[in-house]
Structure formats: structure tokens, C-alpha cells
Structure 1
Amino acid sequence: MKKIFGAVLAGAMMTASAVYAEITIGLSVDQLFESRVAVNNGIKAEASDRGYEVIEVVADGDAQQQNAQIQSLIAQGVDAILVCAVDQNTIERALLAAKKANIPVVAYDRDLPDSRVVQAFVGPDSLIDGRLAGEYTAQVLADYEGEITIVELIGALNDQNGIDRSKGFREGIAALENVNLIEVPTDWDSARALSGTQNAFQANPDVAAVFAATDTHIPAVETVLADLGKLVPKGEEGHVVITGVNGSNDGYQAVLSGTADAFVVMGTEATGRKAVDLAAKIMAGESVDRLNYVGGNLYTAADAEANKAKIWGAPK
């Protein structure tokens, strides 16, 4: 950490003060998409408020490139590293180099639970977020008669957020009986979400609900339903219950139009600002909690527009 120490002499009294200057945060990003940019904007805003510089590197989904970029940040002498890992299984080698250089590491958005280096994590409470969507689905389908077929568009299984959203959703729908859960792996890819949804509906025409681990996949679901003549608004007979997690404009518009029933919105700016705050405390020698969560909020058509300012993806 770079510090400038100064002494102020007032009369016969000298007061020592430490003034932080030229603090540089290395921001290692897995890839850029709307919600990640929203979190990164929170990081940059908090860093700017504190007078910190940010060096951002983006790996474009390439784990080996991210490792090399972190090595570059270390060589540039950054004071702390904030990292959202491409792959939690391959990032540790680069992080160990940061530890050797005495550079604190904070993981954001995507936890690295097995890391020996990461000192703190901040991100969405994906287990709760998924559970909120599941509980809502269970409430809507509580009186459904017969087998309840639900399509789950699963996120990446090397991503703790994807794992936890799926686990939470399943916990949320546990109150339902006679559920036929159709798993559709997407790896967060919209094309895979589209083809997987098409296949699921082809094999199971009577799907009652769809859960999208990211609401950016809701347009793919809408496309499939429209092609099948099943794009029925909420409240009308034949409507397929749709929920998702994220807070994108896709989710917001689908909820407002009645295509989707509800979506869980992540606190992106708060997550970014908290990441910088954690790094600042660690650099100052303060102890911090290892796990720090920013809970999401579930909105429906009844309250989404009124809470537009809290929905990061809604048009401003």
C-alpha cells in the first residue's frame, strides 16, 4: 500500500497523520455483460469517491488470459485486487502470486470458496434469490392439478451463483407435490437457452412454469412460447408461469408486459461499492467478514414500475 506520512506542527504539539495517496485497485473481470458492468460501475464510483485509481482488465471468458492479466496487475504494483473469476478452479495460481506480493484479494459477484488467498467475498445471496423465485412459483401453482412440469434454465455449473440459484429455486418449490423438473443447462448462453427451451417444450407440451437463472434468457422463452402459440399473458388461461433472477431490462419489460410473473433484482451498485470498502479496510489492517451478501428483491407487475429506480437494468 502506498502511503504518504506527514506531520503537522501546531504550537508545541505535533500530530502524526497518515494520508492515503495514489491507491490503485486492480479490477480483474471475467467478461462484460449488463449486470457485470453495473457492478463494475459501482466499484468505479466508490473508488472515485475515495480518490482511488482503477486499472480494469477483462478476460473475455478466458481463464488463462485472466491469470496472465492478474500477473500484469501484480507487476504494475496495484495495492489490492478485486476479482470476478472466469473459473473458480483455475484462478488460484494467479491469486497465490498476489498473496506472495502481499496484495490483498477480494472476490466479487462470484465466490471462490476453496481459495487460500481470497480474504473476503461480496456478491448476491444467490441461494436466497433463487429461493424467492421458487417460493413465488410454488404459491402461484399451489392449486395446480396433476403433474407440474417445470423447466429450469440452469446457469453455469462452474459458477457459484449458478449453483446457488438452482439450489435455492428447488428449495422454494419443495412445497409443491408431483413436480417433473426438466433441467436445461445453458452456461449463461442465450442460444443454448433457446434451443434447450425448444427441446423441453417439444418433449413436454404441458409445461406449467419456467425458471430462468438469468432473466436475460426470458426473451428466448418468449420466442419459444410465441412459436407454439402459448405466449399467454399472466392472469389468462394457459399462461406459463415465468420467473428469473438478475434485474435486466429484459426481465423488467417481460414483467411489465405480463409475459413474466416476477423477477428477483440484484443490488449491483451496492455490491460494487462494498467490494471497494472491503479492500480499503483490509489495506488499513482492519478485520472483515469473509462472506458478505447483498440480498435481492422480488418484483411483480404490481410493484416493478414503482421501484424502477432500484432496478439496475430498467431504462432511466
Structure 2
Amino acid sequence: MRFLRIGPAGAERPALLLDADAQVAHDLSALTPDIDGAFLASLTPERRAELAARAASGELPQLPLPGARVGAPVARPGKVVCIGLNYRDHAEETGAAIPAEPVVFMKASDTVVGPYDEVLIPRGSVKTDWEVELAIVIGARARYLASPADADSVIAGYSISNDVSEREWQLERGGTWDKGKSCETFNPLGPWLVTADEVPDPQSLGLRLRVNGEVRQNGSTANMIFDVRHVIWYLSQFMVLEPGDIVNTGTPAGVAMGTPGQPWLQPGDVMELEIDGLGAQKLPVGKA
């Protein structure tokens, strides 16, 4: 099952997509105000089955997809928590040591934009970079989970995330990473939230990113240092994860920072991202 939000920024309508190739989505506005934490907390298997049946019956209004703006699939996430250096090849390309524990940082929640929206290079930026990542969407409160096996019970689903980063501000300007991670538009998300039951093995997904048609990243979640379950368990020891929170799980090798010549993003570039089974993003790059 795939959830998405369709319409102008700030006025998106919650919707359900029964088939990844469908040209119409099913409007959920009469059933929920939005795809948000409250909705995700209510998303039991029985609720999913009910929604699928109502959509298949033709009861729900249809929203045409061609030409429509698709927003981020989760409205107003409370937190965007990120794991850094979580792929061995990415740590190696940046010259960083393999971490003994997950590297945790935060992004401002208002960095989250739609999967086809413009990504803005900040004023004064000289080193804006890309990162294709598997995003975990939280569906139930996670507080002091007893073991990584308990993580499955709190995951609503998965999406594609682009952890856009300004490397000079992240690494060369002092302080924490957050200042190079929290610029406006720096977390495109979507196009869909794919429920966890449709992603039986989140550790076997291919991730790819192209810039202007050239493949820059081509990796697999199988190469994570800390897997999805471990990440959620680990975070729950340090903070409470709530329904609607987003967890970015790290990126494979191929970022601009680790590429010869360091081809930082420029206005006019186009980023294309995809993860197996989770759809694709296409993001024009502009300037703030």
C-alpha cells in the first residue's frame, strides 16, 4: 500500500495508491485530515485492509496523477533524525573511520519538501551535495525498545529521502553538522510512503542517484553498517520516536564530496533518485 499527498504546497490532499503504475490515486480526505502522525498511529493491518477495500470498490473520489504536484508523503514530521556514515564505502570515500556506534544528527523538520520540488542552493553556498537514502517512517511510539527485533512493531513504512548537505557549513564552519543539513528544501521525501508489509526485507534494496543523467550513486541497503532494526532500537535508547517522525538511514558512496573533482550541485542541475519498490524523485536545482 502506498500513501501520498497531492496538491499545492500547504494544501495537499491525503491519498492512497493501490498500484505503483496507476494514473489515479484515491482521495482519503473524507477519512483523515492528512497523512500525519495520528493517521499513521491508526494504521493497523485491519485499517489498511479497510482502506484498500474502499478504494477498490470505487467509493473514494479519484485524483488524477499526470500533471499534479505530489508533496512529501508525510505531513509535518515532528523530527527528522539522521544516521551519518552508515555505509562502509561512504565512510571510506570521505576518509572517516568506520563508526563503532551510529552517528546521529538532526535536520530541521521544515527541510522536508516534495519529490519533484526545487532544491535551493543556499546563499553563500559553495559545496552543496546530494545523498540518496532509505527513510524510515515511524508509526508507533518507540521508547527504550528492548531489542532490535522490536523495531518492526514501530515502523509504518519506508520512503526515499535526499539528505541534501552543504559540506563547507557541515564540516568546516565549527559546531555540529546541523547547520549544513537544515537549509530550506534540504530533505526531499517521497513520492510515496510504502507500508512496511510491502517491504519484506529493507536490507536488500538498491539505491541509485543521477545528476544530469550521470550515475553518481549505485548502492544497496545490504551494505549498511547498522541495519534498519538496529538503528531504530539504538535511537530509542536516546530519544522517544513518535508516529510521523522520519529517520534517514545513511547514504552509499558516490557523493560529490568523495568524487574526484568534487562536482558540487549547481543551479540548473537535475537530480534523479530511486530505490527499489519505493518510486523515484526528480528534483531541479535552483538558487535561494
Normalising to structure 1: TM-score of the pair? 0.25
Q: Which has more helix, going by share of residues?
A: 1
- Which of the two has higher C-alpha Rg? 1
Q: Which has more strand, going by share of residues?
A: 2
Normalising to structure 2: TM-score of the pair? 0.27
Work out which structure has the larger RCO, using CA pairs closer than 8 Å and 6 or more positions apart in sequence.
2
